[in-house]
Amino acid sequence: MQSVTNYTSSSSSSKPNRHDRPLGGDTARKTRSSSILDLSTQVLNNSEGQQSLMMRKKPNWIRAQLPGGEGYTTIRANMEKHNLNTVCQEASCPNIGDCWSRGTATIMILGDTCTRSCGFCNVKTGKPGPPDYDEPQNVGKSVSLMGLRHIVITCVDRDDLPDGGAHIWAETIQAVHQHAPNTSVEALIGDFQGCSEDLNIVIQAQPEILAHNLETVPRMHGAVRPQATYNRSMKVLREIQSAGLVSKTGIMVGIGETDKEILTLLEDIRNKAETEIITIGQYLQPSRNHLPIERWVHPDQFEMYKEEGLKLGFRVVESGPLVRSSFHAEEQVREFKLKQG
């Protein structure tokens, strides 16, 4: 495998960032007169009446742990020391305190600027800089120093690169295995625009879990993932499973779908891709520039999703209001290994 891929700059014109700062917050006040992505016409809602882009008050079961404790502060210090991007911070994840205190973190490679503009995501959108060819080795060495039990590696979408960043992906996974052999690796990848050759480069690096998130039901993709397609993502999941790796996906609820659509989606994933692990969590609107919350899903509904998912044959189903792709990821690895045994 080549250690360096010669990337050429994309000829497409630079797009303005949707977010004026990377870590979230109310950006609408500063961007009302600027050219931002208007999501108001893309809200797919099941209720009648006029819709509002104001964020709704959270119910009492949406309560995240405040970041703190020795484990959290140690990982935070290491992230800053080694200048690592984390989706925990970039996407304003509510579980950052819980995961970091457990010795699990999600590192984001290939920069902090995404070429796509998904309606739910708080990672900034724009024209990324060139990739850092030293990043794979730097990540591997940093992970070894942090003593993590499990590392989730994800990335921004890099549609500007000829291979979507696949070679850097593979080198990063291999570097973590080399420098931190006691740390299991979960790779949360994009769709590589449907290119099987690029996906296969990552598959050959053999992460312990290879994940790709569908995010939502087929009807919602136009608003939630405008530069992705349901069938293309399903193809990625199918190829991961066919390669013999542990496959994983994740979806959000409360963004406009119905319970019937969710159950149909779960069945479709099992029938078409035979994916083994799935996470289901409540959508939380990061700012007024994002798609609004259509409903707050009660914990009892999440329990129902889990029961139905297990009946369909998923080996592991993480389902709850605050569940995210990497939520309790290290426990998912242990649980999956136990069920394999």
pLDDT at 31 over 60: no
Tell me the average pLDDT of the chain.
80
* DSSP secondary structure of 179-211: H-TTSEEEEE---GGG-HHHHHHHHTT--SEEE
Q: Which amino acid is at 132?
A: D
pLDDT at 304 over 70: yes
Determine what percent of the chain is predicted with pLDDT higher than 70. 67
SS3 247: strand
pTM to 2 decimals? Answer: 0.78
User: Residue 302 pLDDT more than 80?
Assistant: yes
The Cα 67–Cα 72 span in angstroms is: 7
pLDDT at position 3, please?
46
DSSP category for residue 219? G
Q: Region 121-149: what's the mean pLDDT?
A: 89
What pLDDT was estimated at residue 98? 61
pLDDT value for 49: 53
Residue 20 has pLDDT above 50, yes or no: no
Q: pLDDT at position 57, please?
A: 72
Where do the DSSP E strands lie in the chain? 85-86, 104-109, 150-155, 184-188, 209-211, 246-253, 277-282, 316-319
Rounded to whole angstroms, what are the CA distances from 163 to 6, 46, 190? Answer: 10, 39, 12
Band of the pLDDT at 61, cuts 50, 70, 90? confident
Choose from 33-37, 38-42, 49-53, 83-87 the range with maximum mean pLDDT: 83-87
So what's the pLDDT on residue 22? 37
What is the pLDDT, as a whole number, of residue 92?
A: 52
CA dist 331 and 111 (Å) reads: 28
Q: Is residue 126 predicted with pLDDT exceeding 80? A: yes
At residue 142 the predicted structure's pLDDT band, cuts being 50, 70 and 90, is confident
How large is the average pLDDT for residues 9-36? 37
Residue 149's pLDDT is 82
- Res 339: pLDDT: 52
308 contact partners, CB below 8 Å, separation of at least 6: 263, 266
State residue 338's pLDDT score. 54
CB atoms within 10 A of CB 194: 14
